[in-house]
Structure 1
Amino acid sequence: MAVASPFVLAVNRFGLGASVSSGALAGDARAALKAEMTPPDPLADLPPTPVLMQQLEVYQAARRDNRKAAAAMPEMAEDMAPEKPEMMAEGKGKKQARQMDDAPDNPRRRVFIDELSARYDGSLRTPVIGFNERLVMFWANHFAVAVNRSLPVGVLAGAYEREAIRPHIFGSFTDLLISVERHPAMLMYLDNHQSIGPNSRANRKGQRGLNENLAREILELHTLGVNGGYAQADVTSFAKVITGWGLDRKAGDFGFNANQHEPGPQTVMGKAYAQGGQDQGLAVLKDLARHPATAKHIAFKLARHFVADVPPPSLVEKLSQSFTRSDGDLKAVYEALIDAPESWNPQPAKIRSPQEHLIAMIRASDAKMKPALVATTLKAMGQPLWEPPGPNGFADTADVWASPEGLSTRLEVANSLSIRAAERLDARELGDSLFGPSLSETTRTAIARAESRSQGLAILFMSPEFMRR
């Protein structure tokens, strides 16, 4: 494979892939990346969490009414099946509920399409490089939630990214962490809104339980890392600290319920926290954000995501030192990533994830895809939007994405896009525009020998230059 130029590396390794708006494949690559270290499009035209929560409440109330109406038809049920009227009523209620789930006014379906459209028809197409959007994708996967977890999380997943992640990716990691952990989507995804302190006022009868999900994932995934030095006792203590962190149903947003909060001091990672109420959880989060293990964990994940599946230890150390020295200033960490020579190995070492590959093909071909088609395509490729297999997000290494089945599906998608774009695009010209001299002779020859324009485009989209970054 041909050696990629610095600007081609910048667009592909750190960005979303070249597009018509990328301009000439030349210039100061590092400066171009730093110029994109500005807040990404806030997508402010989409409804905020309180509005979505209100819409969800209306929908759920209508759903409950349908169930009640179906259950209140004993005469009809008795006439048709007198031996089991209750089963028939229940079945009718479930059928009507399923019909509502499939209806266009289902908020999860409607909101998801709107959120997806705002990105795939807007914010992912417009940047020259797309470094800021790649960082949004990185952090959304680091602090993963899943739309299939529940109806509320499905409705709020896009708002969660817009409100908790996008505004903070160039700020303090502490602020990002607090914003994420207090968002209703995260609290409901990991069930913290149901967590009750064993000795809280809400648990006087001792019949309600402590939920450790959020505490465990904050320690293991969001901050310290799996080898970060915490023990099960720290998980339990931290879970008690954040009891009461839940939802204000009236406001439709984060709320602290003092009745659910476990009273008294707690010890986490060897430090006692005597603060009362919500401040106790904030104090723990601030210390976790500044912990040396967190610096190493974040540094490793950033280096692995952008540079190599097994990143150079020297690069990880540079990013970790920058994180610690700047007190978690993420912009300083990204600058260290861009400035490090280890980040600019001219041989691409990463394979694009399915989502990155689809975005790159859309940007390169300027293809127009309906949001519903984008959603089904991502699902077929194995990386449905905001639907990771677990709280640890989607994998970030080639061994997961480079399977025969996965590559076969990518080829089908590449063929489909190529057929639609072949009338207006020539693969040879597009290859030169996207990669310049970096496009290898092997790929050029394969494109030249293609039996059709669409086949030539598909070969380009599946070439090592396009698949790797």
Structure 2
Amino acid sequence: MAINPSDAAAVTAFNRFGLGARPGDLNDAARDPRGFLLEELWTANVALIRDHAPPSGAEALQAYYLEQQALRAERAKMAAAAMQTAMLAPAPPAGPGMTAAPAIRGPSASPPPGPSAASPAAAKAEPPKAPASKPAVEQAQFLAEAQARLQKQLEARAGFVERLVAFWSNHFAVSVAKSGELRAAAGPFEREAIRPHALGKFSALLGAAESHPAMILYLDNQNSIGPDAAPGKFAGRGLNENLAREIMELHTLGVGSGYTQADVAEFARGLTGWSVAGPDSESGAPGGFAFKPNWHEPGPRKILGKTYAEAGVEQGRAILDDLARHPATARHIATKLVRHFVADDPAPDLVAMLAKRFQDSDGDLAVVASALVSDDRAWVAPRVKVRTPLEFVVGAARATGFAPHDPGFYLQALNLLGMPLWQPSGPNGFPDMSDGWASPEGMKARLDIAWAMGQRMRGGAEPLAVLKSTLGETAASPETVQAVSRAESREQALALLFMAPEFQRR
């Protein structure tokens, strides 16, 4: 399984740009490591999940809405039954010197005050739960999406495209921690907004991400009403700038690129009316994108010196298209790509080259990714980047051929390592700097997970063979080879391999 020392670039191809080699992969890539990555990159529909795909986002949200309606109906039924029981209950016997109160017999009588078990408040405080054997619909959707994603990552030839999908999913971050709706919609968001456009034009990716129900719900745009729109005047509800601000600060231009708070507010007005069709919506199928014209702030919008005419939903789209093509966006995206794949401190000349490719190709993301892996500077940089928890766990599974039938261990490992699936702490996503993952606490957690993975993945995996098939003869130091070969058990050997600096860094 060993590869020729002169072909060490194959290890870089898998570790720096991909998700780690599987048995036999290094030999396949050694002849032309860059071509190996580019072949995957230019494979038609390579990012899509087609086999056994979970339900669509709209279907997932519809199922969530239906379950919530059923739970509300059950709560109401239980509250009514409790009320009826209280009304028909016999009065307690009178004590000495007390007069017995007449039993409550009719529906017109009032229930006793206080938060008793029979009161609607108490019923609301303890809502019925789904049976333990059947997870809530949003959790079932989340698990199905997690399994589909994991399977795609394990089966990917190089994992370069899957790394790009994960990069863009983190760039347009949403969090399942916010609500049940987001727990149902986060997986479909990645499948429907990110995967189809991860190798296309950035303008298309941007438009798909910002108009997806998951993003609108996460950044509260469904509550944003133009101050001069009729509902805003009568309901006292106002403008929500979250979506507009995060688009400009995180998704396109970047901090310090010259936009102002006035630009953010104007953009937010242009996005009013962008919403999600609820269960009783009359403006679209439940769970899908909906534009509410009467919520949209009327009039032209002036952003970064350009005026956008009133055009309803198209006003927001026109602004997005211009932001996607702005030079500051090109620099921001190029910087993030180099930081993710190459070095925490991106080389200015490599960033400038990628930014130019971005602009010259009208934001063609496959062209930009191709330029990155075709540039020598991306290959010769020292291996100092620390694998993220996702890359670490998936890389270990690929190295040993471990393919779990459910995503439970994978999800638990990511939780313990501080990178729970689709659950960043904020809209800026998970950190992409090594110090975000290489803290003493983080490395201790990795050691625990490495030992757990060594136990789970030991079947059929001969540690030295795994080492050679993933690190070859060149990347593994003599100390690492010696430690793995002298381990007291197969489980310990695999854990030592997973914690080796050569495995942890890319």
TM-score by length of 1: 0.95
Tell me the CA shift for residue 293 of structure 1: 0.5
Contact 1:3–1:347, Cα closer than 8 Å, also in 2: no
Over 3 Å counting, the alpha-carbon distance change for 1:451 and 1:3 in structure 2 is farther
1:173 aligns with 2:202: yes
Q: How does 1:418-429 map to 2 (within 5 A)?
A: 418-429=454-465
Determine the structure 2 residue equivalent to 1:285.
Answer: 320
Q: How does 1:367-446 map to 2 (within 5 A)?
A: 367-369=402-404, 370-437=406-473, 438-446=475-483
Q: How does 1:20-419 map to 2 (within 5 A)?
A: 20=23, 22-24=25-27, 26-37=30-41, 38=43, 39-44=45-50, 45-72=53-80, 73-76=82-85, 82-85=112-115, 88-97=119-128, 99-100=129-130, 104-120=134-150, 122-205=151-234, 207-249=236-278, 250-252=284-286, 253-345=288-380, 347-369=382-404, 370-419=406-455
Tell me the CA shift for residue 77 of structure 1: 5.3
CA offsets per residue over residues 42-95 of structure 1, 9 Å max, x none? 223221122112211211101211221233222445769944256654333332
Q: Which amino acid aligns with 2:59?
A: V
CA offsets per residue over residues 87-113 of structure 1, 9 Å max, x none? 65433333234x239662411110011
CA offsets per residue over residues 232-291 of structure 1, 9 Å max, x none? 111110000000011233413111110000000111111111131011101100100010
Percentage identity across paired residues of the two chains? 44
CA offsets per residue over residues 282-338 of structure 1, 9 Å max, x none? 110010001010000000000000001111111111111111111111111111111
In structure 2, distance between residues paired with 1:423 and 1:182: 45
Tell me the CA shift for residue 147 of structure 1: 0.6
Q: Please, which moves more after superposition, 296-305 or 83-92?
A: 83-92
1:453 aligns with 2:480: no
Q: Which amino acid aligns with 1:201?
A: A
Q: Which amino acid aligns with 1:109?
A: Q
In structure 2, distance between residues paired with 1:76 and 1:402: 60
Q: Which amino acid aligns with 2:62?
A: Q
SS in 1 for 2:302: strand
Q: Which amino acid aligns with 2:141?
A: V
- 1:15 maps to which of 3, 15, 18: 18
Q: Please, which moves more after superposition, 18-27 or 197-206?
A: 18-27
Q: Please, which moves more after superposition, 345-354 or 181-190?
A: 345-354
In structure 2, distance between residues paired with 1:431 and 1:351: 18
In structure 2, distance between residues paired with 1:3 and 1:392: 40
Contact 1:17–1:364, Cα closer than 8 Å, also in 2: yes
Over 3 Å counting, the alpha-carbon distance change for 1:362 and 1:215 in structure 2 is same
Q: Which amino acid aligns with 2:121?
A: E
Contact 1:19–1:366, Cα closer than 8 Å, also in 2: yes
Tell me the CA shift for residue 439 of structure 1: 1.1
SS in 2 for 1:259: helix
Contact 2:417–2:442, Cα closer than 8 Å, also in 1: yes
Determine the structure 1 residue equivalent to 2:104.
Answer: none
SS in 1 for 2:30: coil
In structure 1, distance between residues paired with 2:131 and 2:187: 19
In structure 2, distance between residues paired with 1:208 and 1:313: 45
SS in 2 for 1:84: coil
Q: Which amino acid aligns with 1:461?
A: F
Over 3 Å counting, the alpha-carbon distance change for 1:275 and 1:102 in structure 2 is farther
Contact 1:6–1:346, Cα closer than 8 Å, also in 2: no
Q: Which amino acid aligns with 2:409?
A: L
Q: Which amino acid aligns with 2:331?
A: K
Over 3 Å counting, the alpha-carbon distance change for 1:77 and 1:32 in structure 2 is farther
SS in 1 for 2:289: strand
Q: Please, which moves more after superposition, 269-278 or 186-195?
A: 269-278
Tell me the CA shift for residue 420 of structure 1: 2.7
In structure 2, distance between residues paired with 1:70 and 1:154: 27
Contact 2:24–2:469, Cα closer than 8 Å, also in 1: no
CA offsets per residue over residues 347-370 of structure 1, 9 Å max, x none? 312100111100101111122433
Tell me the CA shift for residue 345 of structure 1: 1.6
SS in 1 for 2:155: coil
In structure 1, distance between residues paired with 2:338 and 2:381: 16
Tell me the CA shift for residue 135 of structure 1: 0.5
SS in 1 for 2:67: helix
Residue segments in structure 2 that go unaligned for 5+ positions in a row: 93-110, 279-283
CA offsets per residue over residues 198-237 of structure 1, 9 Å max, x none? 0012223261111000000000000000112111111110
Q: Please, which moves more after superposition, 72-81 or 396-405?
A: 72-81
Could you say what the CA RMSD is over the residues aligned between the two structures, in angstroms?
2.0
Contact 2:357–2:371, Cα closer than 8 Å, also in 1: yes
Tell me the CA shift for residue 466 of structure 1: 0.6
Q: Please, which moves more after superposition, 237-246 or 415-424?
A: 415-424
In structure 2, distance between residues paired with 1:125 and 1:243: 41
In structure 1, distance between residues paired with 2:381 and 2:296: 53
In structure 2, distance between residues paired with 1:90 and 1:70: 12
Residue segments in structure 1 that go unaligned for 5+ positions in a row: none
In structure 1, distance between residues paired with 2:133 and 2:276: 27
Which structure has the larger Rg?
2
SS in 1 for 2:450: helix
SS in 2 for 1:255: strand
In structure 2, distance between residues paired with 1:403 and 1:243: 42
Contact 1:15–1:131, Cα closer than 8 Å, also in 2: yes
Over 3 Å counting, the alpha-carbon distance change for 1:138 and 1:238 in structure 2 is same
* Count of residue correspondences: 466
Contact 1:4–1:346, Cα closer than 8 Å, also in 2: no
